[in-house]
A = this chain, B = another copy of it.
Amino acid sequence: MTRVAVPIQLRWGDLDAYGHVNNATMLRLLEEARVRAFWSRGGEGTPDTAVIEADPDAASWTLIARQEIEYLAPMPYTSEPVVVEMWLTKIGGSSIEVGYEILSPDRSQLHARAATVIVFVDRASQRPRRVAERERAAWEPYLGEPVAFRRG
C-alpha cells in the first residue's frame, strides 16, 4: 500500500491562546493536504483522480460526510513544514474514506491520526454519484488498513 506524503507549511496564526496549533485548525491542515494530494494537476506521486474538493466549478462535487481525529501530541509552530501522510481506508460505492497521520517535520513525532469520509456528488442533480471504474483503478494502490484509532 502506498501512502501520499504532503508537506504543509504551518502559520504562526494557527496557534491559539494555548500556544499550540488549534484543534479545529488541524482539520484545516488535513483539508489542505487532501486538496494537494487529490487535485488532478499532475503533482508527482499523487493519485490520478478526477478533481476532488478543490474546484467549485467542477461537474462533480465532494462533500465531507464525517471526520474523526485523535490528537496525540500538541503541535508547536515550526518553520519547517509538517508532513501529512494519507492513504485510503475504504473505497465505497459513491464515497471514499481517507486516513491520515500528521507528523512533525522530521517525522519523529506523530501529532494526530484522522479519517475523513468523502462523498461524491453530481453537481447538476446534487445526488451522490458512483465512483467510476477509472477512479477505482487509480485509487486501489493507495488502499490500506483502517486508521489505528485508540477508541474502540
Contacts from A to B (Cβ < 8 Å): 8-9, 11-13, 15-19, 22-25, 27-28, 30-32, 35-36, 39, 41, 43, 53-54, 56, 61, 63-71, 74, 77, 79, 81, 149, 151
Contact = CB atoms under 8 A, between A and B. Distances in A.
Nearest to A53: B12
A110 to B, nearest CB: 14
A22 to B, nearest CB: 6
A66 B70 contact: yes
Contacts of A17: 12, 15-17, 19, 56, 77
A89 to B, nearest CB: 12
Contacts of A53: 12
A76 to B, nearest CB: 10
A24 B27 contact: yes
B25 A24 contact: yes
B12 A35 contact: yes
27 contacts: A8-B9, A9-B32, A9-B81, A11-B28, A12-B31, A12-B32, A13-B32, A15-B17, A17-B56, A17-B77, A18-B56, A18-B61, A19-B56, A23-B27, A24-B24, A24-B27, A24-B31, A39-B79, A41-B79, A65-B70, A65-B71, A66-B68, A67-B67, A67-B69, A67-B71, A68-B68, A68-B69
